[in-house]
């Protein structure tokens, strides 16, 4: 079974992007590069929602190398986005099926709504956050519409450069 990892950078008040999907507060560092490399070494698939994909495009990332890139969208035209697989089917069903396969993990790049729907369906195994030293007040929540209490086990926690705080959790399942 594949491990499904939701990784995100967020503000201290829990937004992964400000209004208008703004991410000008994001801090890149060697440590973040190393953490990303670590994650990419453990997964063979990256899944994301349409808005997250569009933010990545705007930042110059057309796709992530060395992995299968899946964008869930009912509106994007697949033939105009050939660097990724645009899938119009229900994300929860697709991820549920992929998770049953053997092999490296699946990284959920965002957004918060996709991650929350996967969490609600009990399909997220691990959550990594890089909390940035900023309050945004408004924007896209790290996790929108979590529908039940979910307990976590902290696996890692450490300060990163630029005043960031990294924490990594495993989802505790009651079954």
Which residues form the interface with a second copy (CB under 8 A)? 12-14, 18, 25, 119, 127, 129, 131, 133-138, 141-143, 145-154, 157-159, 163-165, 167, 169
Our CB check for a second copy shows the closer of 101 and 153 to be 153
CB of 148 to a second copy, least distance (A): 6
Question: β-strand 126-132 against 165-171: which pairing, if any?
Answer: antiparallel
CB of 5 to a second copy, least distance (A): 15
Question: β-strand 43-49 against 68-72: which pairing, if any?
Answer: parallel
CB of 147 to a second copy, least distance (A): 6
CB of 163 to a second copy, least distance (A): 4
CA 15 – CA 9 distance, rounded (Å): 8
Our CB check for a second copy shows the closer of 75 and 138 to be 138
Our CB check for a second copy shows the closer of 8 and 86 to be 8
Which token pair is 32? Answer: 């973040």
Q: What b-and-e string marks burial along 1-13, b requiring 16 or more CB atoms within 10 Å of the CB?
A: ebebbbbbbbbee
Our CB check for a second copy shows the closer of 66 and 133 to be 133
Our CB check for a second copy shows the closer of 5 and 129 to be 129
Could you tell me if 105 and 80 are in contact, meaning their C-beta atoms sit under 8 angstroms apart?
A: no
CB of 67 to a second copy, least distance (A): 26
Q: Which long-range contacts (CB under 8 A, 24 or more apart) does 54-60 make?
A: 54/21, 55/17, 55/21, 55/23, 56/109, 58/21, 59/23
Give the other-Cβ count within 10 Å of 63's Cβ.
18
């Amino acid at each position: 079974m594949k491990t499904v990892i939701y990784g995100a950078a967020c503000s201290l008040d829990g937004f992964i992007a400000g209004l208008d999907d703004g991410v000008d507060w994001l801090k890149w560092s060697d440590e973040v590069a190393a953490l990303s490399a670590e994650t990419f070494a453990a997964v063979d698939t990256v899944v994301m929602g349409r808005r997250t994909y569009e933010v990545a495009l705007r930042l110059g990332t057309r796709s992530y190398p060395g992995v299968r890139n899946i964008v869930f969208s009912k509106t994007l035209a697949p033939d105009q986005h050939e660097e990724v697989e645009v899938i119009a089917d229900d994300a929860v069903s697709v991820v549920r099926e992929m998770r049953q396969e053997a092999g490296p993990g699946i990284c959920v790049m965002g957004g918060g709504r996709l991650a929350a729907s996967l969490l609600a369906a009990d399909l997220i195994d691990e959550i990594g956050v890089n909390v940035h030293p900023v309050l945004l007040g408004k924007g896209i929540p790290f996790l929108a519409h979590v529908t039940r209490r979910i307990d976590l086990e902290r696996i890692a926690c450490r300060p990163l450069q630029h005043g960031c705080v990294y924490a990594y959790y495993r989802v505790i399942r009651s079954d």
